Amino acid sequence: MPMKKTLAALALLLCHIGNAPALTLDNPKEEGRCRASYNPIDRIATLPCVAEVVAGKTTYRRVEMRLEHLQPPFFLHTLSANETPPPDSADSACISHFDDGATALDMPCLRVRNDKNKTNFHIAMRRIAPDASGRDRFVLTLIEVKPEPTSPAPKATKARVVLLLHGMSSDENTWNDYVRLEPAFGNAFSRCPTITLGIIRDPLALPREAPPPIQCFRLRFGTYDSVSGRRGVEGNRAFGPRSGDFSNFDTLGREVREAIQAISRRYRARYEVNLKIALVAHSRGGLAARAFLQGSQGQSEKDTVVALVTTGTPHDGSPLGRIHRYLRDYCQYSDGSRRGSSGFLGFFPDDCYNDWQVVDFLRSRSNCSLDNFIRFFSSNGDPDILDVRRPTIDDLSDDSSSIRQIQDAARSLPTRIQYAALKYTGIELGRLAKSYRIFDLAGFDSCDQVSKQAENYLLYPTYSNRGENLGDGIVPAANQAFPTWLPVSEFAHNPSGWLHIEEPKPLTGQQAHISTMLEFLLHWGF
């Protein structure tokens, strides 16, 4: 797209640009009053209608900004920001939004002057931590906008939405089976669009007459991974989105809030509507949802949430998360290089050497007779093989400060929301597949297991595999319980032993458990 390079310069110290798929926007008028524009000759961006939200109060302004130079780091200087009357409803689709609490600027329809193709763009900028010299940095996403035919917006009284949140080393495709099998969503994936950086990335043709009975959306975590500054074992870092595996719980909660903002904007631009959103979260996605609900920002977004259902979520962490700290403290040198010896001619390797073999095996780098089978980690649509070197593993440890902080803040959860936890048991800790486990227990395992030293670090003295700490292989059943003083509905399942990575998969019933729980809580007609 020829204008991408010019538009990229609008970001202050641009960190990355998202892909630019087509986006259907409701009624961007050809010559609407609120259409933003950028003139590449004088490098001035004009935003005629900026809805500035400060302390819950909305003020409309006309803003002009000049780009100081075209080479990074970029500096954007505000020339004017004058208050202006509220725009007409016909211009609502093109109003830019600035949220002081979220430090975010949205430009839903921006036109570059002298662009013969008259391409519209939706640009979203999110401010992140300043760099070492104190300059603000922004993450930017750019999406081409395709207008819909003009027609008057109808009125509606209520709208129901389910927002699906995935876990670590995963993406929105982990919900493919659930979306396909749930009749309430229809049978087309296009009816469950993906949201990232607060933008609905897939085409979504909402009906004009009234909102759908139940609409689903899927959040893809990882927007802020590359700019988090977090490093894992061996200096492991992100150079792009990595499933949220380099973001802390608060940042993941911010992504949940931005997704809800995107849904609210889309619905309220088309309908006069009372929006109700149910959050459904697998694994770490449940902790992201809690971080959002327990946080101090986004009260208007929280007001739209009516339920949170978690499945396989390590509310109290998992002892398997201790592997990150074990590798860092015992099996790497101060410079981040690996500690360990393969022994004489490969015989009699030490503990750390064996443990690194397991790390590489889980990343599918080493040879093993189960290599093809172990790729189940990515067969569910996950973008990455399980990499225990990433910092999210440490966050999910049962003795991490991150888990303790989110537990200590549990009393901040809104009391009017319905909460539920789906728990699964019957699998000993460390079993990652029906034919593989990381601990050397009774029976045959042809692939690498961790050393006795690592096993003791992960299991003892708190855990064992003698029955009292069975779960889904990754999270003990007790740790999947929603630990809050609020009333919580819980369904205990899995007598036949369903694995953590199988949620939510077909032929096992977990997708039915989710819908059953949603219907139990909300009576929406699942």
pLDDT tens, 379-407? 443 335 789 999 999 999 999 999 999 99
Lowest average pLDDT, out of 134-138, 173-177, 273-277, 314-318, goes to 134-138
Please tell me whether residues 106 and 236 are part of one structural domain.
no
Write down which residue in 126, 147, 168 finishes a domain.
Answer: 147
Look at residue 259 and tell me whether its pLDDT is greater than 90.
yes
Parent domain of 105: 4-147
pTM of the full structure: 0.77
Q: Are residues 143 and 162 in the same domain?
A: no
User: Do 245 and 200 reside in the same domain of the chain?
Assistant: yes
Collect all residues with Cβ–Cβ distance below 8 Å to 335 and sequence separation of at least 6.
Answer: none
| 79 and 28 belong to one structural domain | yes
Residues 20 and 108 in one domain: yes
Helix (H, G, I), strand (E, B) or coil at 160: strand
Q: Residue 216 belongs to a domain with what CATH number?
A: 3.40.50.1820
Q: Domain for residue 293, yes or no?
A: yes
Which of 109, 128, 147 is where one domain is finished? Answer: 147
**Which range among 16-20, 66-70, 105-109 has the greatest average pLDDT?**
105-109
Pairwise CA distance, residues 195 & 190, whole Å: 12
Q: How confident is the model at residue 425 (pLDDT cuts 50, 70, 90)?
A: confident
Classify residue 348: in a domain, yes or no. Answer: no
Q: Hey, what are 227's tokens?
A: 């700019």
Q: Are residues 8 and 138 in the same domain?
A: yes
Residue 512 class from Cβ within 10 Å (0-12 exposed, 13-18 middle, 19+ buried)? middle
368-376 contacts, C-beta under 8 A, 24 or more apart: 368/446, 368/447, 368/448, 369/446, 369/447, 370/433, 370/435, 370/436, 370/446, 370/447, 373/433, 373/435, 373/436, 374/433, 374/436, 374/447, 376/433, 376/501
In a domain, 275, yes or no: yes
**Are residues 143 and 195 located together in one domain of the fold?**
no
Q: In sequence order, which ranges of 271-414 are alpha helices (DSSP H)?
A: 284-294, 299-302, 322-330, 351-362, 371-374, 376-379, 391-395, 401-408
Count of the separate structural domains present in the chain = 2
pLDDT of residue 296: 87
Q: What is the pLDDT of residues 193-206, one digit of tens each?
A: 999 888 887 666 67
Residue 113 in domain: yes
Mean pLDDT over 283-302 rounds to: 94
Torsion sign across C-alpha atoms 25, 31, 36, 40: positive
Q: Are residues 88 and 182 in the same domain?
A: no
Residue 440 corresponds to which amino acid?
D
Q: From the CB of residue 322, how many other CB atoms can be counted at a distance below 10 Å?
A: 23
